[in-house]
Amino acid sequence: RKIIVDTYGGYAPHGGGAFSGKDPTKVDRSGAYAARYVAKNIVAAKLARRCQIQIAYVIGVAKPVSLNVETFGTGTVDDEVIRRLIDEHFDFRPQEIIERFDLRRPIYRQTATYGHFGRPELDLPWERTDLADTFARSAGSRTAAV
């Protein structure tokens, strides 16, 4: 139950891996942060009103074996276009996520209560929307070329 409370409540499906007690090399934690970050940036780029990112990893393989995008019919471009944009502009390998968000810093105590997401007062890196302009520009150049 705690993992559901720490993330999205009952709003979004969750793979079940807990965050607390895991270092950032564990994709239960870092992958969830990355998926949150990418989804927020897709919405901030106005490519969709809602966005859910689903990623799957296997032990011993750095890149996800699956990455799915679901915008629930709210996308301003096709979900497959969004998927390609994500492939171009975000690296879901654990080491890249750790470096992008500087996850080896001692930041986890502050997330131990009241959750890991939707906490603007903490300025957590996975809550930022600094990739939105890149997504929007790249999507705009794609649609202009069509």
How confident is the model over 68-102, as pLDDT tens digits?
999 999 999 999 999 999 999 999 999 999 999 99
Cβ partners under 8 Å of residue 82, min gap 6: 42, 47, 48, 51, 69, 71, 75, 139
Cα-only R_g, the chain: 15
The pLDDT score that the predictor gives to residue 9 is 47
Please list the ranges in the chain whose pLDDT falls under 70.
Answer: 1-21, 142-146
From residue 9, give the alpha-carbon distance in Å to each of 12, 69, 116, 137.
Answer: 7, 20, 12, 33
Instruction: Please choose, from the candidates 86, 83, 88, 93, the residue with its C-alpha nearest in 3D space to the C-alpha of residue 27.
Output: 93
pTM summary value: 0.83
- Quick one: pLDDT at residue 137? 96
Q: Quickly count: other Cβ atoms within 10 Å of residue 22's Cβ.
A: 14
pLDDT at 28: 85
Which strand (E) or helix (H) includes residue 55? strand 52-56
- Look at residue 105 in the predicted model and tell me its pLDDT: 85
**Range 2-145 classified under CATH 3.30.300.10:** yes
**Per-residue model confidence (pLDDT) at position 113:** 74
